[in-house]
Amino acid sequence: MKNVLFITGAYPDLNRRNNYTFSHELVRAISDSGVKIEVINLKSSESRKPETDIYDGVKVHRVNYKWNPVNHFEIYKQIKKISKSYNNIVFSFLYPMYLPLLPIFKGKNILLITHGGDIMLRWDNWLRRLIKKKVLKRVDQYFPVSNATALYLEHFVPNSKLENIHTLYNGINREKFSGCRKKDEIRKSLNIPETTCLLLTVCNLIPRKGVDILLNADKLLDESDFNYLHIIVGRGSEEERLKNLAKENKISNSVKFIPYIESDQELAELFIASDLYVMMSRTEHNKMAMEGFGIVYAEAQYCGTPVIAGNTGGVPSAVRDDFTGYLISPSNPDAPTEIKEKIINLINDSEKYNRFSENARNFVSNSFDWDKYVTFLHNFLK
């Protein structure tokens, strides 16, 4: 039986199931394919001993990653013991903390899944670049989640290994959309009239997500007497600033902030109930951060909800411009105006809207599937 030790710093814990869904869904798909798999989640903790739990049928070792002379040897010993019986090591996200682990995995097959921000984020000095290159040099196969991530990765991978880069788009968990009510039933339960255009944004409220651009577009919609409601699900460092911007733009009655939705089905039904999914992800070159893919774009489209998105990073891999929605430059000063016009024109053109909706559903169904992802991954497991 093939086996995988999946190592990441981004795996959900038992109390916050909506976090890091990519890692969890991929691990579950690998497990369902008949591969023996365990997870090491490198996390900041005061405990020197790993905490082990069973998450959705898979054993998860939560290991303190605070590397220092006091606990370095103990951590090294713990991970060496866990990894002893595994032939394949899958790193998810590129972290500098992987470097001291590499001697443990001598002779093992190492695969790396890169997401975009991990290639750019905080690698803007010579030491971090050196660490990154050393980790990448040891990796056997590379799996970026989008075309844009693959292009960034090519700058750091040794020339002799460029052919080992395989772009693999994320899948989506289709199960959480089964059993959901129909669109009209959901909207009725939410007291949202059929004549109201429901806009949805689900993201961390941080500058990179471009929610401020959307709120400025909302203001223009309001001034155009367009009947809409914009639901924004998420929390983060920008939350207060964005709420204040909504007040300044005098759109508080048309914008509803929801910090967190715990139920997968409740969130899935919001995707179904919405007329458009909107999120203006921007690449922040000064912070070395970008949207590597954007799983929420795929989830919205799977529900037949067209998307209006920023045309940066890996988003063009997840959204097809003028086919499943629209891609707009978030750096364009006229972006709010363009967003407003796209929303009004698409909602008022039922033929185009229905075509985009059908295209979106088919595009995601055919492109973003965990079973296909894992089938391809199997070719590289030993």
Residue 197: pLDDT band (50, 70, 90) is very high
Same fold, 3-173+369-378 and 174-367: yes
Structure tokens at 118: 């991990």
**Given this model, what pLDDT does residue 369 score?**
94
Burial of 18 (C-beta count, 10 Å sphere; 0-12/13-18/19+): middle
Neighbours of 217 (CB within 10 A): 27
**Given this model, what pLDDT does residue 19 score?**
66
**Given this model, what pLDDT does residue 312 score?**
93
Q: Tell me the CATH number for domain 3-173+369-378.
A: 3.40.50.2000
Percentage of residues in the chain having pLDDT higher than 70: 94
* Domain formed by 174-367, architecture: 3-Layer(aba) Sandwich (3.40)
* The CA-based dihedral angle spanning residues 370, 373, 378, 380, taken in that order and rounded to the nearest 10 degrees: -150
pLDDT in tens, 55-88: 999 999 998 876 565 667 778 888 999 999 999 9
Question: The tokens 């229905």 sit on which residue?
Answer: 354
For all residues of the chain together, what is the average pLDDT? Answer: 91
**Given this model, what pLDDT does residue 97 score?**
81
pLDDT in tens, 239-279: 999 999 999 999 999 999 999 898 889 999 999 999 999 99
**Given this model, what pLDDT does residue 299 score?**
96
The domain segmentation of the chain, as residue ranges, is: 3-173+369-378, 174-367
Neighbours of 256 (CB within 10 A): 12
**Mean pLDDT, rounded, for 307-333:** 96
CA separation for the pair 168, 255 (Å, rounded): 36
**Given this model, what pLDDT does residue 116 score?**
84
More confident residue, 319 or 69: 319
pLDDT in tens, 5-58: 999 988 988 776 556 788 999 999 999 999 999 999 987 665 666 789 999 999
Contact 36, 120 (CB under 8 A): no
CA separation for the pair 212, 206 (Å, rounded): 10
95 SS3 class: coil
**Given this model, what pLDDT does residue 220 score?**
98
pLDDT in tens, 91-136: 999 988 888 889 999 999 999 999 987 887 555 577 877 888 899 9
What's this model's pTM, rounded to 2 decimal places?
A: 0.91
For residue 368, pLDDT beyond 80: yes
Structure tokens at 101: 């682990």
For residue 150, pLDDT beyond 60: yes
